Amino acid sequence: MSRTSRTALLAALGLITATGATATVFGTATAGAATPGCKVDYQVTNQWSTGFGANVTVTNTGDPVSAWTLEWSYGGNQQVTQGWNATITQAGAAVTAKNASYNGALATGGSTSFGFNGTYSGTNAVPATFKLNGVTCNGATEPTEPPTTPPTTPPTTPPPAGSKVDNPYAGAKVYVNPDWSAKAAAEPGGSRIANQPTGVWMDRIAAINGTPGARGLRAHLDEALKQKGTGEIVVQLVIYNLPGRDCAALASNGELGATEIGRYKTEYIDPIAAILADPKYAGLRIVNAVEIDSLPNLVTNVSGRPTATANCDVMKANGNYITGVGYALNKLGSIGNVYNYVDAGHHGWLGWDSNFGPSAELFKTAATAEGSTVDRVHGFIVNTANYSALKEDHFKIGDSVNGTSVRTSKWIDWNQYTDELSYAQAMRDKLVSIGFNSNLGMLIDTSRNGWGGTQRPTGPGALTSVDTYVNGGKYDRRIHLGNWCNQSGAGLGERPQAAPAAGIDAYVWMKPPGESDGASKEIPNTEGKGFDRMCDPTYTGNARNGNSMSGALPDSPLAGQWFSAQFQELMKNAHPAL
């Protein structure tokens, strides 16, 4: 697999709706020196009332350089607050960006990119003048407008069809599922988010050809070609049909029995692979989230653990989770335009020392099973179908209250992480350290972890104890970290965007908002989905949630079916607010 090299902290900002301008500027020669010249593509990639994100691509049109400094001045009160892939400083209106250690050398025609976030008020005009290594390059720019269309990214020169890029989300739109979009738009206020991209769940064999009310895989890919236009587009699929699926729960059990690995291969993965390999779709960037809620169960829910289940013991013994994931990775990852991201749970599941390292090792075992290699894994995805906050701002894992570590609090319970961003970045580092590629990228599902609304804390909790400190300041308002089904008070999180933080390829909405996690009571069905008491609002809990109330919304339908009350709850408590 050929992939562009990337350092561990690379986070090129090619995100959301790309507007702005391209400033094409050429320098003049100076006597006795190398001839400098540059082309600068400055893009405002995301803009809101007081802030913005930007991406800058510098192309050297002069003689080769071993280091570079780019300078510009703002015409307004813009202030750079955070940058990556360059060292950025600002004095008044003047901004200076110097290369990082790994991107200073630019051959003639060579280019590099860096990104940053900033604040502004009033107007946010693109700078009119840039300097490369001290030489002024004058060029006109076009006006910029705030983004108003669905998430996309700056136009880039597309790679050859079938070749992989480092971050598939950079420089690309993301597919908007018309089936989900129509349901969202039909809800009061739903039009505000109906144009957001969400994952398409291939959660049973019938989904490949389509089910009543939901188009099949080919129909989605054909629609993606229409949405693509002349740019790049990512299509997000969830590969989710392992034998004995979701062995530690009941709400999302699947159609295949524990031993039906043959059917999984021949009736599920092989037909999907045949469609994705169709040359008609070679121009799409296809992202697969591979088998949610599977592999970590073999660490946390087997004999010897207090949360063990007989079903997970069966799946560990027969090896069909490992076999199935390895087969899917190898079969799908061999297709040139397919990017596999393996599910890596979330911090409230795997953040403890006893779970974290063993899970990483298990991921590698699966990634090298059935003829697969680590090269078939482009990255990992965390927090899909869960509610853990993206970033807790009011406490950190190293804090203490009156000499007592916050890790001893009932909420954290000795976990090593407080939120999904810190967990995802740490898991990425761990996976690279045990042999996964150094350019591994992470995805974080932010579809329902915003926790906004009137209950969102604005500061730390009281310093009377570690529990009052943590409970008073945490955004995640669940009763217990182990609660996972249709949570009351939850809200939409960060909108889908590419490269938002170091090591993170994108924030995504892989779990479509408004689709139920499970039924609040037993509902007969033909999809193999059972009744899990964690979806019952009257349930008083079990060992997995500290024997706490479930926190679930009432009157919920089967997993994956539309749940209007949940959709309205998520919009009401969105953060950032709608």
Both 255 and 353 in one domain: the answer is yes
517 is catalytic: yes
- 110 within a domain of the structure (yes/no): yes
The mean per-residue pLDDT over the stretch 235-247 comes to: 96
Domain holding 190: CATH number?
Answer: 3.20.20.40
pLDDT of 29 over the 50 cut: no
Confidence of residue 471 (pLDDT cuts 50, 70, 90): very high
**Model confidence at 571, in pLDDT bands (50, 70, 90)?**
very high
Higher pLDDT, 38 or 364: 364
pLDDT at 24: 37
Residue written as tokens 């100076």? 30
Total structural domains within the chain = 2
How much is the pLDDT for 90? 92
Task: Determine the pLDDT at residue 234.
Answer: 98
Q: Are residues 240 and 347 in the same domain?
A: yes
pLDDT tens profile 387-401: 999 999 999 999 999
Residue 479 lies in a domain: no
Q: Which pLDDT band holds residue 322 (cuts at 50, 70, 90)?
A: very high
Which CATH number does the domain housing residue 72 bear?
A: 2.60.40.290
Q: Give the C-alpha separation, 75 to 58, whole Å.
A: 21
Task: Tell me, yes or no, whether 314 and 429 share the same domain.
Answer: yes
Same domain, 133 and 180: no
pLDDT for the residue 39? 81
> In terms of domains, do 101 and 30 share one?
yes
Q: Quote the domain boundaries for residue 122.
A: 19-138
Which of residues 129 and 208 earns the better pLDDT score? 208
Residue 352 domain-assigned (yes or no): yes
Residue 522 lies in a domain: yes
Q: 467, 517, 532, 536: which one is catalytic?
A: 517
Q: Shortest CA distance to 278 belongs to which of 163, 162, 160, 158?
A: 162
Number of alpha carbons in the 13 Å side-chain half-sphere of residue 189:
13
Angle at 233 (CA atoms; ends 386, 180), nearest 5 degrees? 45
Identify the domain boundary among 114, 138, 162: 138
User: Residue 86's pLDDT is what?
Assistant: 84
Among the ranges given (16-30, 281-295, 311-325, 506-520), the one the predictor scored with the smallest mean pLDDT: 16-30
Last residue of a domain, one of 92, 117, 138: 138
Looking at the domain assignment, is residue 549 inside a domain? no
Catalytic residue among 293, 399, 419, 476: 293
pLDDT of residue 141: 34
Does 495 map to a domain? yes
Q: Are residues 114 and 191 in the same domain?
A: no
Is the pTM higher than 0.85? The answer reads no
Tokens of 232: 């790049």
Q: Please say whether the dihedral angle defined by the alpha carbons of residues 545, 548, 551 and 556, taken in this order, is positive or negative.
A: positive
**Structure confidence at residue 16 as a pLDDT band (50, 70, 90):** very low
C-beta of residue 143 within 8 angstroms of C-beta of residue 163? no
The predicted pLDDT at position 34 comes to 47
Q: In this structure, what token pair is assigned to residue 116?
A: 């940053």
- The values of phi and psi at residue 128, to 5°, are -90, -25
Residue that finishes a domain, picked among 85, 115, 138 = 138
Residue of 443, 440, 448, 397 lying closest to 419 (CA atoms): 397
**Does 91 share its domain with 190?**
no
Residue 173 and residue 180: Cα distance in Å, rounded?
A: 17
pLDDT at 52 (0 to 100)? 83
The answer to whether residues 214 and 301 belong to one domain is yes
CA atoms within 13 A on the CB side of 479: 21
pLDDT at position 57 is 81
Q: At what angle do helices 353-367 and 320-333 cross, to 10 degrees?
A: 50
Question: Residues 89, 180: one domain?
Answer: no
Burial of 526 (0-12, 13-18, 19+ CB in 10 A): exposed
Average pLDDT, the chain: 87
Q: How far is C-alpha 259 from the chain's CA centre?
A: 32
What pLDDT was estimated at residue 26?
Answer: 37
Q: Which pLDDT belongs to residue 511?
A: 96
Name the band, by pLDDT with cuts 50, 70 and 90, for residue 22.
Answer: very low
- Tell the burial category of 373 from Cβ atoms under 10 Å away from its Cβ (0-12, 13-18, 19+): middle
Average pLDDT score over residue span 523-546: 88
User: Domain check: are 237 and 322 in the same one?
Assistant: yes
Task: Please give the pLDDT value at position 138.
Answer: 52
Provide the pLDDT for residue 543: 82
Mind listing the pLDDT tens digit for each residue in 36-82? 578 888 888 667 778 887 878 888 888 888 898 999 999 899 999 87
128 plus 235 within the same structural domain: no
Find, among 14, 338, 283, the residue nearest to 172 by Cα: 14
Mean pLDDT of all residues in 453-462:
95
How many Cβ atoms from other residues are within 10 Å of residue 275's Cβ? 17
Domain membership flag for residue 452: yes
Q: Is residue 143 a part of any domain in this protein?
A: no
**In the predicted structure, residue 524 carries a pLDDT above the cut 80:** yes
Residue 5 banded pLDDT, cuts 50, 70, 90: very low
Residues 177 and 91 in one domain: no
